[in-house]
Structure formats: structure tokens, C-alpha cells
Copies of this chain bind each other. A is one copy, B any other.
Amino acid sequence: MNIAIIGATGTIGKAIVSNMENRHTLFKAGKNQGDYQVDITSTDSLNRFFNDIGKVDAIISVAGDLHLGSIEDMSVDDFNVGLQSKLLGQVKVALTGQKYLHEGGSITLTSGIVSEQPIAGGSNPATVNAAIDAFVRGAAVDLPKVRINSVSPNVVIESLPNYGPFFPGFEAVPTKRVALAYQRSAEGPMTGYTFKVW
């Protein structure tokens, strides 16, 4: 398959590449690194990327920023970070990407465990991650010719130096396990589904 991976140079993105590179042709995009530079908050940037690479069989998005902080001193602009980036950015990947998919192709977005299991300072990730999972459920019924899923990882072992303190007692998972979920989404039959790696 031809597979576009947006966020291919990130912690989880690299594990997806390792999982897939021997079986598929990968188009590896990052915000500033990778073979292609893509800004998921810009429909123009996404269109340029998909025009460059041509139609693909799968699109994987593992990108987007969030805001961590207590709601007690959060501004609307703080909260809007996650809405515009990880949520609306990934929705833009789906809205734009669907036009560049072969029939039977798939879109896989990324959410996260905080959708269901709160952490301190996590109202923005909770909102955005649950929104992504619901978006794929809602969108799947309107997309008869392509599939759309999300992968919801726990905190990953490789990110514990940065994010460990936010996830006390969470059973961190290796990115290698998370990458399997993206494989299932791209190579399997499911649609409207959230693969939870918890």
C-alpha cells in the first residue's frame, strides 16, 4: 500500500514507520522534519502534500498539540490550542484526505487515554481526545467508500521523561505496541472504531 504518515518523525510516528516500512511505501511528513513538511492546521498545506504524493491507500495522522493546565487559570486561547491543532487539525486531515484516498482506503487519527481517564490539568486533552474518537464514529457512517478509525494510546514509555509526572500509576506502553494499532486500522477491516492501547 501507499501510506501517508503525518507526524512520522514524532515518538509514535517513528514506531509506525518501523512497523510498516518493509511492507508499504511510506510518505513521511512532519511539521518541520520528514520528507514532506505539512501543517495540519492549514487546508492549503494538506492539499499541497496530497497533490505532491498522489492518491494513497491509507492516511495516518499522529500529530497535533494540546494544552496542559488547570481549568482554574486557563484562558480561552489556551483551550483553543488543542481545539485548533489536535482536534480541528486532524479533522482537516480527514476532510481533505478523503479526496485523495483510493476506494477502500482508510484514515487513522490519534486520540489518547485521557478521553476517558482524567489527569490533573487534563481538561483540554480529555475534550480533544474524546472528540476525535466520536468524530470517527460519526464520520464512518457517512463514508461508505473509505474507512476511518482512531488510535487511543496510553502514555508511551518513550515519553515518560517528559510526560510521566502527568500520568502517575498509568501503565505506560511501548510505542511498538501502539504501532500495532495503526497497523490494524490500516490493514484490517474496521471502521468507526477506536483502537485503545491501554
Q: Which residues of A contact B (CB under 8 A)?
A: 43, 70-72, 74-76, 79-80, 83, 87-88, 91-92, 94-95, 98, 114-116, 118-135, 137-143, 192
Contacts and interface: CB of A to CB of B under 8 A. Distances in A.
B83 A88 contact: yes
Contacts of A79: 88, 91, 95
Contacts of A72: 98, 142-143
B141 A120 contact: yes
A137 to B, nearest CB: 5
Contacts of A88: 76, 79-80, 83
A131 B129 CA distance: 8
Contacts of A139: 71, 123, 126
Given A72-B143, A123-B139, A130-B131, 12 more contacts: A70-B142, A71-B142, A87-B127, A115-B134, A116-B137, A118-B137, A118-B192, A123-B142, A124-B138, A126-B134, A126-B137, A131-B131
Contacts of A80: 88
B98 A71 contact: yes
Q: Which of A43, A98, A133 has the most CB of B within 10 A?
A: A133
Contacts of A94: 71
A95 B74 contact: yes
Contact of A138 (B83, B87, B123, B137): B123
